[in-house]
Amino acid sequence: MSLIEVDPSELGVVAGRIEAALAVGDEVRSSHSGLRGSAAAAGRGDAEGSIGSFLDTWSYGLSCINGDARNLAHLLRVTGTAYAQAEQAIKSAATP
């Protein structure tokens, strides 16, 4: 049998780091139109099509990853709060 120990505050720290990474992902996704426009300005239809296809696929994949990461960050925060509340309830119950 293994013992699992969790520092609730560290769960919040990890969630914050994930959220910071998500901000970068959002920035990349928001530049999608600008990058597509730059490809169009290059004047080569084949390059524009290839770049557009890559950007569409990349944007879709990034949105999937971001969705999962947002859920993970949320669950880490909820878990940290639940651990902290449980620990406080145990302390309160043990104190006469």
87 domain residue, yes or no:
yes
Q: How many CB atoms lie within 10 A of CB 49?
A: 11
The pTM assigned to this predicted structure is: 0.70
Domain that holds residue 48: 16-94
Distance CA 82, CA 15 (A): 15
Is the pLDDT higher at 39 or at 57? 57
Note the pLDDT of residue 30: 80
Outline where DSSP puts E strands in 5-96.
Answer: none
Q: Residue 1: pLDDT band by 50, 70, 90 thresholds? A: low
68 domain residue, yes or no:
yes
80, 12 in Cβ contact below 8 A?
yes
75 domain residue, yes or no:
yes
30 domain residue, yes or no:
yes
Residue 80 has pLDDT above 80, yes or no: yes
Query: How many independent structural domains does the chain possess?
Result: 1
Q: What is the mean pLDDT of residues 39-50?
A: 77
11, 79 in Cβ contact below 8 A?
yes
45 domain residue, yes or no:
yes
